[in-house]
Amino acid sequence: MEPSLDLPCIRIILLGPPGSGKGTQAKLLAGHFNISAISTGEILRSHVKAGTALGEQARSAMERGELISDELIVGIMSTEFARPGRERGYVLDGFPRTVYQARALESLVAPFARMVIVKIDVPEHEVIRRLASRRVCGQCESTSSSHGATTEHCVQCGGALELRVDDRAEEIQRHRLAVYDREAVSVEEYYAFWPSFVAVDGTRSAADVSAEIVGAVRRLLSPRRRSDCRFNPVRRADVS
Ligand code: AMP
């Protein structure tokens, strides 16, 4: 943990295809900087599991590997950003996934200058290999990798590990990657000229990738550019 880093606020956006390691990196970085990891996929899966109205709205799109509506996601994030402690910053895993969401994010958080955008590059064949071995804990929703063991339990809570519904069929996996390619290109283009945009090679070990991102965050978020991470609910209606 690095609580003494002189940065008053650290916000990190992780971009990358399903299986690129965003979830793992979000947790490592959140632990390192002592900030929250916010995963839209995890939030949605817990709503689906709990059978909430929001979960019911999201379920079918998620099972088909499609994105859920921008309005629904922006509403969820608006609640997330307002939670206590979030003024210190957070790592975003799975948001924004469309240009609409990227614009909404700029309206929701202020000043946007405290944001580092990290693209995790992993080739498609490697992503497909990783998705085949990915498991999610039925109890705490955390993600792990299967190593072929017969009894698989979550290292966090001991719950039974399962295949994610949207990882089950190769056809759905490929569809999710196609959806990612369709939307991500425009999101990456949207951020490509942002001064704190960095691309990292995600094929290395999780620890190496994390160390590179930590270095980039320290370099890009200079303590001299001090400000806090305010939530800006009033401008939500400005999003178009
Ligand atoms: P993930 O765990 O990030 O792969 O997300 C799982 C599924 O949740 C995605 O395939 C989408 O159906 C949905 N989802 C997660 N984040 C978003 C988002 N930002 N916008 C729309 N749908 C999302």
Give this prediction's pTM: 0.83
pLDDT band for 232, please (50, 70, 90 cuts).
Answer: low
Give me the active site residues, please. 22, 97, 134, 164, 176
3-state SS, 107-140, equals HHEECHHHEEEEEEECCHHHHHHHHHHEEEECCC
Beta bridge partners, 160, equal 153
Our CA angle for 150, 64, 73, nearest 5°, is 105
Residue 231 phi, psi (nearest 5): -95, 140
CA dist list (Å): 148 to 92, 95, 97, 135: 30, 31, 32, 11
Mean pLDDT value across residues 181-189: 89
Whether 131 is in the pocket of ligand 1, judged by its Cβ within 6 Å, is no
Counting residues of the chain whose pLDDT is more than 90, the rounded percentage is: 49
Whether 202 is in the pocket of ligand 1, judged by its Cβ within 6 Å, is no
Mean pLDDT of the chain: 84
Mean pLDDT value across residues 154-182: 79
Residue 3 pLDDT: 42
Beta bridge partners, 14, equal 93, 118
Dist. CA 73–CA 97, nearest whole Å: 10
pLDDT band for 68, please (50, 70, 90 cuts).
Answer: very high
Residue 112 pLDDT: 63
Atom nearest to 69 CA in ligand 1 = 21
How much of the chain is in helix, strand and coil states, percent to nearest 5? 50, 20, 35
